[in-house]
Amino acid sequence: MAGDLVPGYVPIKAPRGNTRTAKGWIQEAAKRMLMNNLDSEVAEKPEELIVYGGRGKAARNWECYHKIIETLDRLENNQTLLIQSGKPVGVVETHRLAPRVLIANSNLVPKWANWEEFDRLDRAGLMMYGQMTAGSWIYIGTQGILQGTYETFKSAAKQHFNDTLAGTITVTAGLGGMGGAQPLAVKLAGGVSLCIEVDASRIERRLKTRYLDRATTSLPEAIALASDAKKSRTALSIGLQGNAAEILPKMVQMGFTPDLVTDQTSAHDPMWGYLPPTRADEDVNTLREQNPKLYKERVNIAIVNHVGAILTMQKRGAIAFDYGNNLRAQAKLAGVDDAFSYPGFVPAFIRDSFCEGRGPFRWVALSGDPADIAKTDEALLKLFPDDVRLQEWLRFASGQVAFQGLPARICWLGYRERDRAGLLFNKMVREGTLSAPIVIGRDHLDAGSVASPYRETEAMLDGSDAVSDWALLNFATGIASGAAWMSFHHGGGVGMGYSQHAGLVAVADGSDEAEERLRLCLTNDPGLGVIRHADAGYEKAQRIAGERGLDMPSMKP
Ligand code: NAD
């Protein structure tokens, strides 16, 4: 495999089972989760330490990776390991209830917060891009985004298509780590998807893991398949090999208008993530290396054509939305003045959930035993009998979603729900119902820990989109509440200069200490999401804050 060519690369599999070599379960969990992020079943390019999202990495280089693993094995229960952009830079004495690892990824002083400066530092070996859950060691493969993508398409269906995508076609692009969830999510919502992807191996991967039904290299064939399925209201996903910057304009020329149009190429990183069309005799990496300026011009032209086609489709009646990859901002920089004529997915479909602190909550079985996840699924079905979407999702996921790496599950839970789930898992570990501890984390697609004006905080009611005090408060609150490890990142999702966000992970090992940590951090973390939205003036968040007992001094008469 390609990885054999990279010095220092050995395929990685996290240890399984309930025997640990580290001095505590948190250290063991951090080690296994870092390894799991780089498992070849999980990571998109493990040999380059790239987990997902363009060049989102788990460690700066292989030397750093091995040093982190060694350090986690010797780390005492009153020490904290400090990670600076993927490099283990220090171990400090703290106390038992402190996080065992603190991580800062890709943070730059605002005036220098751009890809040019990041790239300079990256080339000098001084930084890495942590994306969101890559550099915070809680990525679980494409399932991690599947329910969120499903929630998004379900909300779109509810708003625009009588609650189902049956009889509709969605056109999108990008079948990478996150984008690969789109075909299955649209299918789950009843619709037909036509997913454009340049890289044949990504299409192959999604076919193999049953995220995609069919694949073709022919646009007319793809359109015919999609149109037939639309007519018969059959849910179907079709992968089309090609470049979105060429295919979408061709669709426009042919007069083909989908019902929904979006995109999940890695446009947040125009130099490395978004690929311009190339001739058969051209290699994209050589082009970029030989003439970066010319290469960037080609990317800009591609993005202009791509977004131009989305805007035309929108004018012809398609529901267009940006899927959190900053394509609109790149298009605007490249000269498309009306690029922001279509909304981001958060204000369009997700904000209402954020007002309840609701968002993607995930957990991983350190045993490696899928039976442990099956037991947690059962437990949550009983714990939240009235949550219809959760019931539907967990029943579907337990039967249909293939695990990648350590068995894991995701579901959307909000304030005063996550703590109940975490405490229940801790009890199940304590009583031996589960055969090893459970790691609990969340995405950075989150209500209270992210400042990202073109994504999570786009179009906030009070105009506070770019205020990142909230992300810092979340980071500090997680630490004060005894998270197992916390991270603070810049640039995730949308790229350098566009976001700041914090990640939280907790561990349920059945102990009293874990109970205390879980109770605090799984209450306070989503609580901040409600506070952030209540403070911005969202009535729903204000109501939830009142009903669920959040203390907000500024809301008191
Ligand atoms: P990835 O890098 O793993 O995959 C991107 C894919 O796009 C690759 O397979 C690449 O071959 C393909 N691609 C690039 N340019 C293309 C083009 N012009 N035409 C067709 N295909 C092209 O990234 P990912 O993890 O799938 O994330 C994709 C984007 O979505 C990123 O910008 C990421 O930040 C964003 N994202 C969104 C969410 C969300 O909740 N919506 C969550 C995480 C990430």
Q: How does pLDDT run across 250-291, given as a tens digit for each residue?
A: 999 999 999 999 999 999 999 999 999 999 999 999 999 999
Q: What are phi and psi of 439, to 5 degrees?
A: -95, 135
- Give percent of the chain with pLDDT exceeding 70: 99
80 lines ligand 1 (CB under 6 A): no
Q: What is the C-alpha separation between 419 and 319, in angstroms, rounded? A: 37
Kindly state the tokens that stand for 134. Answer: 């890559």
Amino acid in position 473: L
Query: With contact defined as beta carbons under 8 Å apart, do 67 and 91 qualify?
Result: no
- In the block, tokens 């987990």 appear at 51
Average pLDDT over residues 384-411: 92
* SS3 call for 207: helix
Kindly state the tokens that stand for 445. Answer: 């697609």
DSSP state of 465: T
Average pLDDT, whole number, for the chain? Answer: 96
Taking only the tens place, the pLDDT of each residue in 427-483 is 999 999 999 999 999 999 999 999 999 999 999 999 999 999 999 999 999 999 999
Q: What is the C-alpha separation between 347 and 330, in angstroms, rounded? A: 19
Positions at the binding site: 53-54, 131, 177-179, 197, 202, 243-244, 264-268, 274-275, 323, 493
Which of these, 321, 304, 277, lies nearest to 170 by C-alpha position? 321
Which carries the bigger pLDDT value, residue 399 or residue 422? 422
Q: Which CATH number fits domain 143-342: 3.30.390.10, 3.40.50.10730, 3.40.1010.10, 3.40.50.150?
A: 3.40.50.10730
The end-to-end CA distance of the chain, in Å, is: 65
CATH topology of domain 14-43+59-129+353-552: Urocanase fold (3.40.1770)
Q: Is the model's pLDDT at 164 over the cut of 70?
A: yes
Q: Distance of CA 547 to CAs 108, 354, 448, Å?
A: 39, 16, 18
Average pLDDT over residues 185-204: 96
**CA–centroid distance, residue 273 to ligand 1 (Å):** 7
* SS3 call for 442: strand
Mutate to test the pocket of ligand 1, among 133, 265, 310, 456 (most ligand atoms within 8 A of CB): 265
**CA–centroid distance, residue 175 to ligand 1 (Å):** 7
* Extended strands (E) in 272-324: 319-320
Kindly state the tokens that stand for 3. Answer: 């990885």
**CA–centroid distance, residue 322 to ligand 1 (Å):** 12
Instruction: Give me the helix-helix angle, 62-74 and 25-37, nearest 10°.
Output: 160
Mutate to test the pocket of ligand 1, among 172, 178, 455 (most ligand atoms within 8 A of CB): 178
What does the pLDDT read at residue 304? 98
The dihedral built from the CA positions of residue 222, 228, 230 and 235, taken in this order, carries a sign that is negative
What does the pLDDT read at residue 556? 87
Taking only the tens place, the pLDDT of each residue in 397-409 is 998 888 999 999 9
Domain spans of the chain, in order of start: 14-43+59-129+353-552, 143-342
**Buried b vs exposed e over 298-335: b needs ≥16 C-beta within 10 Å?**
bbbebbbbbbbbbbbbbeeebbbbbbbbbbbbbbbebe
